[in-house]
Structures are given as C-alpha cells and as structure tokens.
Chains A and B, each alone.
Chain A
Amino acid sequence: MSEAHTGASPFADTVAVEDFSSHGSPTSPPTRRLMIAFTGSGSEYFRIWIVNVLLTLLTLGLYLPFAKVRRIKYFYANTLVDGEALSFHGRPWPMFRGFVLLLALMGAYGLASKFSPTAGLLAYLLLCALWPALWRAGMQFRLANTSWRGLRFGFAGDLRSAYLAFLPVYLPGIGLMLAQYFFLGDMNPATTPEAAAQIEASAKVYLAISGVCGLLMLGLAPWALACIKRYQHNGYHYAEEQTQLDTPTRRFYGLGLKVFLMGILPLVLTGVLAAVLLPMFKGRPEILPLVFIALFLSYLFFFAVSGPLFNARLQNLVWSNTRSPSLQFDSQLKARRLVILTFKNWLLTALTLSLYRPFAAVATARLRLESVSIDLQGDLDRWIARAGQGSSETAGEAAGDFFGFDMGW
C-alpha cells in the first residue's frame, strides 16, 4: 500500500519518529509520525459492560444510550493519538431522544410491512428517503462530539452528496421492491388451478426481475462502497484541515473480487462436498447429522474468513489513501491477524455464552486502531479551531453508528 511507512514500531505510542529525509527541501517543515495506541483492558471493560447490560435489561433497553456514552468514553479515553486521548462530548439525554425517535421509526417500519404490501412499500421508500440524511446527521453528531487536544472534529459532507453516495445501493433495491409489489403484492390464495397458473406466471416474472436486480446489486456493490467511503473520507475535518480520499473505484472492485473469490471457495467446496457426501449416506440416517455439522462448519468458515479479511483490506485501502494538506494517514492492518482474532473472539464468545464479548471488543479495537498511524507536517501547537464549528443533530447518532476509525460501533 504505502511503502514509505513500513518499519514503524507499533508500540511507539508516545514516541514520535522524526523523519527529515522524506522531504528534500530543508525549508519544508519536518514530518513527524503520530502513532495510535489503545490502552483499554478487557477485564475492566467487562465490569463496565456487565453493569451496562444489567441496567439495560432492567430498563428494557431504555438505558442503552447511557450505556453507549459510557462505552464510547471508555474507548476514547484509551485511544491515544500521539500520546493524547480522544474525548467524547455527547450527552446521554439528547442521544436518548434520538434513540427513541429512531426506535419509533423502525417500529413503524416493521409494523407497516406486516400490515399490507402497499404500506410496507411506502414505509420502505420513506426509510430510503430518510436514511442518507440520518446517516449524515449521525456522522456529524459523532464527529462534532469528538475532540483531540481540545479541538473538535467535524463532518463537512453536504446533504445532496449523501443522497448521491447512496444511489448505487438504492437503484437495484428499489427495482427489487417494485417488482415484489407489482408481481407478488395483493394476491389471493390460489383456490382454482387457473389462479394458481396465473400466480406461477407472475412469480416467474418476479424471479427474473429480482435475479437481474440481485446481480446488479452485487455488481454495483464495490462502486457503492467507493461512493460511500469517498463521501465519508472527503468530509472529515479537524482544525483547519479537511481530509480527502484518493482511491480509484477500480481498487474497490479489486478488493471486492479478491474477497469474493477467497470467500466463495469454501462455499463451492462445501457444495461439492455436499453433492458427493449426501447420496453416499442416503441409506444411513445416523451419519447424516455429522455431514450436516461438517457442512455447517465450512459455511461458518466462510463467514469467519471472508468477513474480517474484507474489513482489514478495506480499512487499509481507505485509510492509507486518506490525507489532508498536512496529514497523511496510513493503515497496515494484517488481514491474517484480524481473521485469527475474529475467529478466536467468535469461538470464545459462543463458548462463554457471550461473557467473552467485552474482551473481544477490546482486542479488536486494539488491533484495528494500533495499525493506523498518521504522518504530520508542521507544528500541532499552532493549529487552531476552524471558525463556526458545527451543529449537533442527535437523531442520526444511533442510526449512523459511526466511529472515527471504522470501528463499526
């Protein structure tokens, strides 16, 4: 990815690596590497988590925003960028209101689709129409409430671009929804053979359309991802710096293809295995459960490998190509390490009936954050806040669920 940045010690959290050589001219300001360190502890987060879980259960979920503020504050206080922690300024009560609003929206959506196909379609379209705005509001809220060295971050992406970023996702999705509505919508149960034949015919049309839309969705997915990442990474700002992402869309296609091939391989093998094994044991029912377990395990393997592989490669692709006038980000996350860690996390979380979950969260955060570093040109002490720092809409916070370094939560 960025070959200039190899050889950095991942543990030099507070030590700045002076590097004068990379910029020839003696008058240009020196480049300094800012390392990210994560100092959180699993056993400590376990204690925070279990109390949060209890309070959330007792309040039937209403404590969730308060638990979230405590969790984010803990993770931020332990995320040291160049030795100085991030801080989170979100207040629980505004987040609580946003949370309730979002809950109501989701509840209404869930109910509407159960009610009638028309109401479901309308609710879906409404949600589609609102989602990019909510997503953007979430990023604005999270970044406006994140600070480092006393200066707030911010998000500058505009509303129109948020909708444009979602276009490649929406187009096939809307096609699918419309096809479902018009070909499968208001149909009565088949009581006569003619009605059944008619249903079968329109089901075939629906199948064809949904197949095309599904393929389109798959084919456009890397482009959609590129649009979304570009929108996000072109909008972050801190002090007077605004980031930009320079990655051609074809690299997202390369990533998608690679992960798809690596992920599909075990799936194909599973299919072949199933085709060979199932007829072999047709007459021996006692072995069949074993075969199914084997098939299920290889299916799990597909998720265990392709998911983290994709996440690691995506983090590297996106962050290594993000920069601002004085900052150059770099991410050297080893996919192998994330795959192994994720597998271990899954296994232990399942074996301990979810008690390992806080340890898993801390370990994942450490691996992902510590593989990111930032090259800085200039003197941080001279950086000042940009004029007119942003708004804080809270409704999107719960919706967007955004964390600075693509933590996902």
Chain B
Amino acid sequence: MDLPNSAASARLQAHFFDGRSARPQRVQAWVHEGQLHLQSEEDQSLRHFPLREVVWPERQRHGQRQAELPGGGLLSHHEARTWDDWAQASGLRDSLTVRWMQSWRYVALAFVLSIAVVAGLWAWGVPWAADKGVALIPPAVEQQIGDQALSWFDQKMLKPSKLARAQQDAIAERFAQALQKAQAKAMARDRGAKPWPAYQLHFRDAGEAMGPNAFALPGGNIVMTDALVQLLDKDSPQALVGILAHELGHVQHQHGMRMVLQAGMVGTLAGLVVGDFSALIAGVPTVMAQAAYSRDFERESDALARQLMLDADIQPRVMLDFFDRIEALRKKKGDRDSLPIAFASHPADAERKRFFGAP
C-alpha cells in the first residue's frame, strides 16, 4: 500500500489483540502523520505504529480485515466494508495488483492474456526452450539415456532378432550406402550441409504386440523389428531405407530428448494452473501435448526422409507400398488396437501417403 501524506484522521472502532492474550480489546484506530494510532476504550491507553511497518490486509469483498502490527499485535475488524471505507478515507491506497483484481474489466484482460501466454508458450516457447535445452545436454548423457531406454525395451518387450546375420548386415549396408550418396549430393548442393548423426542400428524380435515397426531412441539407437523386415525386405527393400531415413530424422533432430523436455514443460505449465487440484486433470494436457508435438516431429522426420531418398536416387513413392501393406495388415486383423504403437501418434496415413507420393 502507498502511504498517505495528508493528516486525515477518520476514526474506526476495532479489536486489538496484543499477541500475548487471546482477549480482544476495543480500540479506536486512526491515521495521523505517518503513524497508526490506537486508543483503548477500556483504559484510554495509547499506542502508535509507523504505517510502513504495518502489514495491511488486501481489499476484497469477503472476509475479515486484519492488520499485522510491529511487535506481534493484531488489529482486527469483522466488517470488510467498514474497514475498507475507513482505510480509503485515511489515505491508504491499494496495491496495483489489488486494484487489478477488483476490476472485472482488468480481470477479463488477465484472462485473455493468460490464454495468449499459454498459447504462445505452447506454440513457440516450449519448442524454443526444448531446442536450447537439448543443445545443453552433453552427448554422453543423451547416449546414456538412450541406452537405458533400449535396455528397458529389451527387458519388457523385445527379444533378440531371429533374422540371419547376413540379412541384417545387408540392410545396414544398403542404408549406409544411401546415406553416403545422399551426403555427397547434399554437400554438392550446400557446402555447409550438416553431416548425418551417429546411429546404431538394432534388429529385434518384438512379437505380435508391436508388429512391423521401427523407432528411434535418444543417442542414435534405431530399433527395427523382424516383422517389419519380413514385411518389406523381399518386395520393396528401398522402403526399408526410407523408414530408416525417417528414424534417422528423429535422431538428427534429437526428437527423443526434445519430447522428454517438451512434455515435462507442458506438465509443469499445467501444474502451475491446476496442479494443486487434481493430478489426473493436470496430466491430460501432458498426454495431449505428447500427441500434438509428436505429430510435428513425425512431419519433420518425413521431410528429412523424403529429401534423403531423393538425394540417394530412391523414389519416395516406394513408401506407398509400406503404407498399403500396413493398412492391409490392419484390415486383416480386424481391430484397431493392434495398431503399431509408434504410429498411433503419427499424422494420418492419407496425409503421409500424399507427402511421399508427390512427384
């Protein structure tokens, strides 16, 4: 509160507690020359306190008013309205925040601004901070996190691959050659083109649960399931290269780490707004954020994969065969819950088919 400079002295009947006894004393209170004066109605004794040292209550419509006095005393009044009128007449001013909260117009403004801030943070703030944050994480730490994630998958869902060693090596070799070719093309086009990130290719048997699938983990671990190799290797081997290029896009853009950071930030944001109310409700935005940001990441990776395929003289159209086969598989199974989990958060297949099918 701002302090008054006038010598106004409206009187207010209030209760004073001295901080040592629970007994209220009836007092008259007034403000004069920068001091709050109290006079007891019982023994007429006088007390005074510098206005600056008094902690004044904030004006609201409801509740009682209590001013904390230096030395542990308390000045209390049951009628909020009477107190507020007295305080105003005595020249005590509300803080800016309190005046803001008292006006419905400014409250509406705060509401609109809050939504704008949340939207801005969602669209730019969080991705920007994740970019900066990811750059700060040492590669060794990212590698460690990725390795841990892989060993978690190995324990819970994955078994060693049943593919022949030669077949695994052939796929890895085919991909490495495509990378080399694309790299040369990219360098010729733009001398400052970034080199491909380091990656490790892992083949695993994921059983029925995961089906034909591939995913990238932090630190450059790319996992491809046996089912995916069996689906494509014989008839459209170049689609496998396309899928690996897509996963390399995740590695290049460090999507794994960015997702951890972005989901964490959205969770914190939600916690700030509704967190103390219900963990369940605060968790919903986090899940929504993961799906939304994940679709952005997939588009980013698709773009990289398409460019890489073009540079390596592979027609991006070969990916259409992959989408058709996945769709056929899904139809054959007859239900939606066997959908490969990594693809549930992908953009719609139709959109991706248009993207890869474009001339």
B65 contacts chain A at the CB level, 8 A cutoff: yes
- Determine which of B63, B154, B281 lies in contact with A40 in the assembled complex, contact meaning CB atoms within 8 Å: B63
Q: Could you give 23 example pairs across A and B, Cβ below 8 Å?
A: A41-B61, A46-B107, A47-B102, A48-B101, A50-B110, A51-B107, A54-B110, A54-B113, A57-B121, A57-B273, A70-B97, A77-B65, A149-B24, A189-B150, A190-B158, A190-B159, A239-B22, A350-B281, A354-B274, A357-B274, A384-B20, A408-B276, A409-B276
A85, B336: Cβ atoms closer than 8 Å? no
B18/A150 in contact, CB under 8 A: yes
Among residues of B, the one whose C-beta sits closest to the C-beta of A281 is B335
Q: Kindly state whether residue B111 has any CB partner on chain A within 8 Å.
A: yes
Partner of A77, one of B66, B100, B141, B337: B66
Taking CB atoms and an 8 Å cut-off, the chain A residues in 178-206 that contact chain B are 184, 187-193, 196, 199-200, 203
Residues of B within 8 A of A354 (CB): 273-274, 281
A78 & B159 in contact (Cβ 8 Å cutoff): no
Q: For the complex, what is the distance from the CA of A47 to the CA of B55, rounded to whole Å?
A: 22
Q: How far is the CA of A184 from the CA of B158 in the complex (A)?
A: 16
Task: Check: A283 CB closer than 8 A to any chain B CB.
Answer: yes
Known: A46-B107, A70-B97, A150-B73. 17 other contacts (CB 8 A): A40-B62, A51-B97, A61-B268, A78-B62, A115-B141, A150-B17, A151-B20, A151-B21, A187-B155, A239-B22, A345-B277, A349-B277, A349-B278, A350-B284, A383-B22, A384-B21, A408-B276
Give the interface centre of B58, B155, B280, B281 by most chain A CB atoms within 10 Å.
B155
For B116-137 the 0/1 string (1 means CB < 8 A from A) is 0110010000000000000000
Residues on B with beta carbons closer than 8 Å to the beta carbon of A285? 334-336
B160 touches A303 (CB 8 A): no
6 nearest A-B pairs in the assembled complex, by CB-CB distance = A150-B17, A77-B63, A85-B64, A381-B23, A383-B22, A78-B63
Judging by beta carbons under 8 Å apart, are B74 and A87 in contact? yes
CB-contact partner of A190 in B22, B60, B102, B154, under 8 A: B154
Complex-state Cα separation, A155 to B55, whole angstroms: 24
Chain B 135-165 near chain A by CB (<8 Å), digits 1 or 0 = 0000001001101101100110011100000
CA A55 – CA B107 in complex, angstroms? 12
Q: Chain A: how many interface residues by the 8 Å CB criterion? A: 73
Partner of B117, one of A58, A64, A303, A357: A58
Of all chain A residues, the one with the shortest Cβ separation from B202 is A189
Contact B64 A77 (CB under 8 A): yes
Closest to A91 in B: B55
In the complex the two chains form, what is the Cα distance from A85 to B15 in whole Å?
12
| Minimal beta-carbon separation of A94 from chain B (angstroms) | 14
Contact call B114/A53, Cβ cutoff below 8 A: yes
Partner of A282 from B97, B147, B277, B335 at Cβ < 8 Å: B335
Q: Which of B57, B107, B151, B158 meets A50, CB within 8 Å? A: B107
Q: How far is the CB of B139 from chain A (nearest CB, A)?
A: 14
Which one, A148, A151, A349, A383, contacts B274 given CB within 8 A?
A349
- Complex contact A189–B151 (CB within 8 A): yes
- Residue pair A83, B78 in contact (C-beta under 8 Å): yes
A138-158 vs B, Cβ < 8 Å mask (1 yes, 0 no): 000000000111111000000
A80 at the interface (CB under 8 A from B): yes
Give A349's nearest chain B residue, CB to CB.
Answer: B281
Which residues from A are CB-within-8-Å of B19? 150-152, 385
Check B68 for interface membership: any CB of A closer than 8 A.
Answer: yes
* Contacting residues of chain A (32-57) with chain B, CB-CB under 8 angstroms: 39-41, 44, 46-48, 50-51, 53-57
Chain A residues with CB under 8 Å of B166's CB are none
Instruction: Note all chain B residues with C-beta closer than 8 A to A199.
Output: 154-155
A380 and B155 form a contact (CB under 8 A): no
Interface pair A196/B97, CB less than 8 Å apart: no
What CA separation (Å) do A380 and B24 show in the bound complex? 10
Residue A166, interface by CB 8 Å: no
Which residues between 281 and 308 of chain A lie within 8 Å of chain B, taking CB atoms? 282-283, 285, 288-289, 303
Assess whether B145 is in contact with A114, with CB atoms less than 8 Å apart. Answer: yes
Q: In this assembly, does A2 line the interface, its C-beta being within 8 Å of a C-beta of chain B?
A: no
Once the chains are docked, how many angstroms separate the CA of A87 from the CA of B74?
Answer: 9
State A349–B282 Cα separation when bound (angstroms).
Answer: 11
Complex Cα distance, B151 from A349, in Å, reads: 40
Are A184 and B155 interface neighbours, CB within 8 A? Answer: yes
Per-residue CB proximity of B50-90 to A under 8 Å, as 1/0?
Answer: 00000101101111111010001110101000000000000
A56 to B117 Cα, complex, angstroms: 11
Q: Say yes or no: A74-B60 contact (C-beta < 8 A), given A54-B114, A285-B336.
A: yes
Task: Please state if B62 and A61 are interface contacts (CB–CB under 8 Å).
Answer: no
B17 x A149 contact (CB < 8 A)? yes
**A258 lies within 8 A of chain B by Cβ:** no
Given A74-B60, A285-B334, A53-B66 contact (CB < 8 Å): no
- In this assembly, does B272 line the interface, its C-beta being within 8 Å of a C-beta of chain A? yes
| In the assembled complex, A318 has its CB within 8 A of some CB on chain B | no
A381 in contact with B145 (CB, 8 Å): no
Say whether B20 contacts A385, CB under 8 Å: yes
A73 proximal to B (CB < 8 A): yes
Asked if A116 lies at the interface with its beta carbon under 8 angstroms from chain B, I say yes
Contacts of A54 in B (CB 8 A): 110, 113-114, 117
Cβ of A346 within 8 Å of any chain B Cβ, yes or no, is yes
Which residues of B have CB within 8 Å of A58? 117
Chain A residue with minimal CB distance to B113?
A54
B90-115 near A? 1/0 per residue, CB < 8 Å: 00000001001110100100110110
Chain A residues with Cβ below 8 Å from B17 are: 149-151
In the assembly, what is the distance between CA of A187 and CA of B20, in Å? Answer: 63
A229 sits at the interface (CB 8 A): no
Q: What A residues does B97 contact at CB under 8 A? A: 51, 55, 70
The residue of chain A having its C-beta at the shortest distance from the C-beta of B19 within the complex is A150
Q: Which residues of B contact A382 (CB under 8 A)?
A: 21-23
Interface presence of A372 (CB below 8 A): no
Q: Which residues of B contact A385 (CB under 8 A)?
A: 19-21
Report which residue of A50, A117, A357 has the largest number of chain B beta carbons within 10 angstroms of its beta carbon: A50
Contact A383 B21, beta carbon cutoff 8 Å? yes
Q: Looking at the complex, which one of B18, B147, B278 makes contact with A189 (CB distance below 8 Å)?
A: B147
Residues on the A chain within 8 Å of B280, using CB: 303
Question: Which A residues are CB-close (under 8 A) to B273?
Answer: 53, 57, 354, 357
Residues A288 and B335 in contact in the complex (CB < 8 Å), given A199-B155, A381-B22, A382-B23:
yes
